[in-house]
A and B are shown apart, each in its own frame.
Chain A
Amino acid sequence: MKEDNLNIKDPVLSIRNLSVAYDKGSYAVKDVSADIKRNAVTAIMGPSGCGKSTMLRAINRMHELYENIETKGSLILNGKDITDMPTIQLRRMAGMVFQRPNPFPTLSIYDNVIAGYKLNGIRLKKKERDDVVERSLRDVTLWDEVKDTLHKKGTFLSGGQQQRLCIARALAFDPEVILLDEPTSALDPVATSKIEDLLVKLKENYSILMVTHNMSQAARISDYSMFMYLGELVEYGKTKDMFTNPKDRRTEEYLTGKFG
Chain B
Amino acid sequence: MNSAAKITAANLSRRTLKDKLFKGLVLFLSLITISPIVLIIYKLVEKGYRQISLNFIIKTPPNTFEAMTAVSNGELIPGGIANGITGTLLMVVLASVISIPVGVITGIYLYENPGKPLANLTRNISDILQGVPSIVLGLIAYMWIVKPITSGFSALAGSVSLSIMMLPMIVRSTEETLKMIPQSIKEAAVALGVPYYKVILRVLIPTGFSGLLTGILLGISRILGETAPLMLTALGSSVINLDITKPTSAIPLLIWEFYNDPNMVDLIWSSSLLLMGMVLTLNLVSKRIAARTK
- Contact yes or no, B192 A102, CB < 8 A: no
A249 to B73, CA, bound (A): 104
1/0 per residue, CB under 8 A from B, across A92-112: the answer is 100110111011111000000
User: In the bound complex, how far is the Cα of B192 from the Cα of A96, in angstroms?
Assistant: 8
A92 to B203, CA, bound (A): 18
Chain A residue with minimal CB distance to B192?
A116
Please, how many angstroms separate the alpha-carbon atoms of A259 and B201 in the complex?
A: 45
Q: Is the CB of B206 within 8 A of A60?
A: no
Q: Identify B192's interface contact among A65, A100, A173, CB under 8 A.
A: A173
State which of A9-17, A82-90, A133-141, A231-239 sits at the interface with chain B.
A82-90
Contacts A104-B207, A106-B206, A120-B198; is A65 near B189 (CB within 8 Å)?
Answer: no
- The answer to whether A88 and B188 touch (CB under 8 A), given A106-B206, A119-B202, A119-B203, is no
Q: Are A90 and B207 in contact (CB under 8 A)?
A: no
Residue of B nearest to A121 (CB): B198
Q: How many residues of A contact B (CB 8 A)?
A: 28
Closest residue on chain A to residue B182 by CB atoms: A102
Q: List, in ascending order, chain A residues with CB within 8 A of B202's CB.
A: 119
Closest to B201 in A: A119
Residue in B192, B198, B199, B206 whose beta carbon sits within 8 Å of that of A91 in the complex: B192
Does A6 reach chain B (CB closer than 8 Å)? no
* A32: interface (CB < 8 Å): no
Does chain B have a CB within 8 A of A166?
yes
B193 touches A91 (CB 8 A): yes
Query: Which of B188, B190, B195 is A104 in contact with, Cβ under 8 Å?
Result: B188
Q: Distance in Å from the Cβ of A183 to the closest Cβ of chain B?
A: 13
- B183 CB to closest chain A CB (Å) equals 9
List residues of A (25-48) whose CB comes within 8 Å of B's CBs.
none
Report the nearest A residue to B186, measured CB to CB: A65
**Residues in B223-263 with C-beta less than 8 Å from chain A:** none
Which residues of A from 162 to 218 have beta carbons under 8 Å from B?
166, 169-170, 173
The chain B residue sitting closest to A98, CB to CB, is B184
A104 CA to B191 CA, complexed, in Å: 13
**Does A20 touch B at the CB level, under 8 Å?**
no
Q: Which residues of A contact B185 (CB under 8 A)?
A: 102, 104-105
With an 8 Å Cβ cutoff, the count of chain B residues facing the other chain is 20
CB-based nearest A residue for B202 = A119
Cβ A90 vs Cβ B193 within 8 A: yes
Pick the residue among B187, B189, B190, B191 that contacts A95 (CB under 8 A): B191
Kindly state the separation between the CA atoms of A106 and B207 in the bound complex, as whole angstroms. 6
Is residue A69 contacting chain B, with contact meaning CB distance below 8 A? no
Min CB distance A208 to B, Å, is 16
A124 at the binding interface (Cβ < 8 Å) = no
Q: Does A55 belong to the interface (CB within 8 Å)?
A: no
| CA gap between A105 and B204 in the complex, in Å | 10
User: Complex: how many Å from CA A62 to CA B188?
Assistant: 10
Residues of A contacting B195 in the complex (Cβ-Cβ under 8 angstroms): 88, 120
Contact A102–B188 (Cβ < 8 Å): yes
Question: Does B194 sit within 8 A of A, measured CB to CB?
Answer: yes
**Residue A77 is within 8 A (CB to CB) of chain B in the complex:** no
A22 to chain B, nearest CB (A): 15
**Is the C-beta of A115 less than 8 angstroms from some C-beta in chain B?**
yes
Cβ distance A132 to chain B, nearest Cβ, rounded Å: 13
Is the CB–CB distance between A104 and B193 below 8 Å?
no
Q: Are B184 and A119 in contact (CB under 8 A)?
A: no
Q: How far is the CA of A91 from the CA of B185 in the complex (A)?
A: 16
- When the two chains form their complex, are residues B193 and A102 in contact, meaning their CB atoms are under 8 A apart? no
Selected from B187, B192, B207, the residue in CB contact (under 8 A) with A119 is B192
A100-B184, A119-B202 known; A169 and B192 CB under 8 Å? yes
B187 touches A62 (CB 8 A): yes
Roughly how many angstroms separate A30 CA and B64 CA in the complex, as a whole number? 86
Are B187 and A102 interface neighbours, CB within 8 A?
yes
Complex CA gap A194/B98 in Å reads 52
A92 to B194, CA, bound (A): 10
Which residues does chain B contribute within 8 Å of A104, judged by CB atoms? 185, 188-189, 203, 207
B258 CB to nearest chain A CB (Å):
46
Please state if B191 and A91 are interface contacts (CB–CB under 8 Å). Answer: yes
Within 8 A of A (CB), among B141-182: 182
Residues in B neighbouring A90, C-beta threshold 8 A: 193
- Asked if residues A119 and B182 are in contact (CB atoms below 8 Å), the reply is no
Give B114 Cβ to nearest chain A Cβ, in Å: 11
Say whether A119 contacts B198, CB under 8 Å.
yes
New A-B pairs, 7, CB < 8 Å, besides A65-B187, A115-B188 = A62-B191, A96-B191, A98-B188, A104-B189, A115-B189, A119-B202, A173-B192
* 30 contacts across the A-B interface (CB closer than 8 A): A60-B191, A62-B187, A62-B191, A65-B186, A65-B187, A88-B194, A88-B195, A91-B190, A91-B191, A91-B192, A91-B193, A96-B187, A96-B191, A98-B184, A98-B187, A98-B188, A98-B191, A99-B184, A100-B182, A102-B185, A102-B188, A103-B188, A104-B185, A104-B188, A104-B189, A105-B207, A106-B206, A119-B194, A119-B202, A169-B192
Chain A interfacial positions (CB closer than 8 Å to B):
60, 62, 65, 87-92, 95-96, 98-100, 102-106, 115-116, 119-121, 166, 169-170, 173
